[in-house]
Structure 1
Amino acid sequence: MNLQTLPGLFISHGSPMLALDPEQVGPALQRLGHNLPRPQAIVVMSAHWESNALEVNTGVRPETWHDFRGFPKELYEIRYPAPGSPELAEEILQLLAEAQLTAHANSTRPRDHGVWMPLLHMYPEADIPVIEISLPMNMNADQIYKIGQTLAPLRDRQILLIGSGSITHNLKELSWNNQNNQVPEWASSFRNYVVSKLTHSNYDAILDWDSIPFLNKNHPTLEHFAPIFFAMGTGQRFSLVHSSFSMGALGMDIYRFD
């Protein structure tokens, strides 16, 4: 079998409503799924699995978790029954151990919407093995970046690595009832700063996250930004796949790392 190298991705997974109303980013994810070589497996670090220590899902077929409230009934009926891969999960645990990154197996964790929401658009058949890894909140940006570096060799085996979060994520500032609301300057400035630094390969400026202009306004908590550190670790050549905003200030960017 001729295996091709896949990129690492940072995907802004947006509101759960993306499953029913794809807006601009849904077609962008669909194109990405069509254009990339078909993955042998997919590994996702999601903003919605915060943990004290690094964990790896070793389940055979994790349940679809609707980890949100107050949305339309049809959203809760969606399932993404992709298989897991206990063998690859054990290999990931071994790779992390060899890099002195302590990680634990978790066979019972269901898949949150940070995993199945983007994959629903990219690979709707749900027939590619998916492994979720947690976002360890006791680690700093450099350590999360190291997780990406450690797993980067999997790309050579046609395994897709994804950090799933959001380039901006301040839910209190969103215009929930107006999709065409103007993008505030603090959101566009933050997004433009990140893209500029990545374009010029200045990864250190992003890992030094607390010095990014308007950080607290865009990320009152860090969990939706932190998966970008993982994605950055997977590859050194940045490219912008998609950029848009939803509900005014919710950034829907997709970044690629080769």
Structure 2
Amino acid sequence: MLPSFFIAHGSPMLAIENNDYTQFLNQLGRDLPRPKAIVLFSAHWESGVQQVSRVDQYRTIYDFGGFDRSLYTIEYPAHGSNEIAGEIEDLFTKNGIPFKNETTRGLDHGAWVVLRMLYPDANIPVIAMSVNPALPPEEQYKIGAALSGLREKDILIIGSGGTVHNLGALKWADNGKADSWALEFDDWLAGNLEKWDLESLFNYNSLAPNASLAVPPYGNEHFVPIFYAMGAADNQPKAALLHRSFRYGNLSHSVWQFG
């Protein structure tokens, strides 16, 4: 059975950088058994109703500005899978989860930056999924849990975002040191993920130290993919932190394995 993952996609610059984090993701893709397909919940696709992609071949979306021009030439021409999308829709129907099909949207950088580092040949079918930051964490978790059986079919489930993501607090002159407030929040999160303490995690905004800095109330979309990924391992509740580093003072690069 494949695990599910929460993977930070960081800055778009990761797509052209060579550092400890990109090397870790490159190696992770080589170490994992080759999946039949990848289901990916991206922080950069927000929707009030769960969206399920039915796309034959994805275009690459450059949903950022002001970065190195070479980023805008990168293509990740992944194919979709109507078969796997249909299985997902059946599971959502069975579990009473409303959804819609999306037939034209490409892959945003929350998806393709991560996928390109894991599987650079773009030869594994991808089903892109939206997230709804307005849902309570319990409901986000339930959406992931509805898909937990897919892991037994060698389908890899990923939530792409960032545990600490506050663009207003970034220090672009990176000195390599992590801000203490970011570490305190991330340490609290790690302790509760490892205990699988759902009650505490679902109430992170009132219980976690520095929660309003790490996960700004106006921008929780990068944090919530962790609940979808965690829910996908509800049938095998264990969590392991595989990598953690920080850029720009407090932008987290973390990889959590669930299951």
Q: Shorter-chain TM-score: which interval? A: over 0.9
| Partner in structure 2 of residue 17 of structure 1 | 13
Q: Which residue pairs with 1:224 in the alignment?
A: 222
Assess if the C-alpha contact under 8 Å between 2:47 and 2:132 holds in 1.
yes
- Structure 2 Cα separation of the partners of residues 201 and 137 of structure 1: 21
Aligned-partner Cα distance in 1 for 2:201–2:137: 9
Distance 2:19 2:172 in 1: 14
209-218 or 72-81, which moves further after superposition? 209-218
Alignment of 1:90 onto 2:86 = yes
Task: Determine the structure 1 residue equivalent to 2:35.
Answer: 39
Pairing of 1:154-165 with structure 2 (within 5 A): 154-165=150-161
Q: Distance in 1 between matches of 2:158 and 2:149?
A: 14
Q: Report what 2:190 is aligned to.
A: 195
Structure 2: distance between partners of 1:22 and 1:41: 26
Secondary structure of 2:45's aligned partner: strand
DSSP 3-state at the match of 2:147: helix
- Structure 1 stretches of 5 or more lacking a match? none
Offset of residue 30 of structure 1: 1.1
- The residue that corresponds to 1:251 in the other structure is 252
Equivalent of residue 210 in structure 1, options 201, 205, 208: 205
> Structure 1 CA distance, aligned partners of 2:134 and 2:68?
35
Written as runs of structure 1 = structure 2, the 5 A alignment for 1:91-110 is: 91-110=87-106
- Residue 54 of structure 1: how far off its partner (Å): 0.7
- The aligned residue for residue 238 of structure 1 is 239
For 2:34 and 2:198, the matched residues in 1 are separated by 28
Equivalent position of 2:26 in the other structure: 30
Counterpart residue identity of residue 51, structure 1: S
Map Cα deviations across residues 119-143 of structure 1 (whole Å, 9 max, x no partner): 1111001100011110023421111
Q: Determine whether 1:139 maps to 2:140.
A: no
Between the aligned partners of 2:133 and 2:215, the Cα distance in structure 1 is 15
- Would the aligned equivalents of 1:50 and 1:223 in 2 still touch at CA under 8 Å? yes
Structure 1 residues 6-26: Cα deviation after superposition (integer angstroms, max 9, x where no partner): 100000110000001142211
Identity %: 41
Aligned to 1:117: 113
TM (norm. structure 2) is 0.95
Q: Deviations over 1:206-246 (max 9, x none)?
A: 12121222111012121000000101111211011101011
Shift of 1:62: 1.4
Counterpart-to-counterpart distance in 2, 1:136 and 1:53: 7
Q: Distance in 2 between matches of 1:18 and 1:28?
A: 12
Is this contact kept in 2: 1:44–1:130, CA < 8 A?
Answer: yes
CA apart distance, 1:67 = 0.4
Distance in 2 (CA, whole Å) between partners of 1:76 and 1:204 is: 42
Compute the displacement of 1:159 (Å): 0.4
Moved more, 35-44 or 131-140: 131-140
Number of residue pairs matched? 253
Does residue 58 of structure 2 align to residue 62 of structure 1?
A: yes
What RMSD, in angstroms, separates the aligned Cα atoms of the two structures? 1.0
| 8 A contact 2:132–2:221 mirrored in 1 | no
Instruction: Letter of the 1:210 partner, please give it.
Output: N
Paired amino acid for 1:192? D
SS of aligned partner of 2:44:
strand
Following the alignment from structure 1 to structure 2, what is the Cα–Cα distance between the partners of residues 176 and 68? 16
Once the two structures are TM-superposed, the CA of residue 204 in structure 1 deviates from its matched residue by 2.2
CA contact (8 A) 2:177 2:246 kept: no
1:164-204, Cα deviation, whole Å (9 max, x unpaired)? 000100111112132x3421111000000000111122132
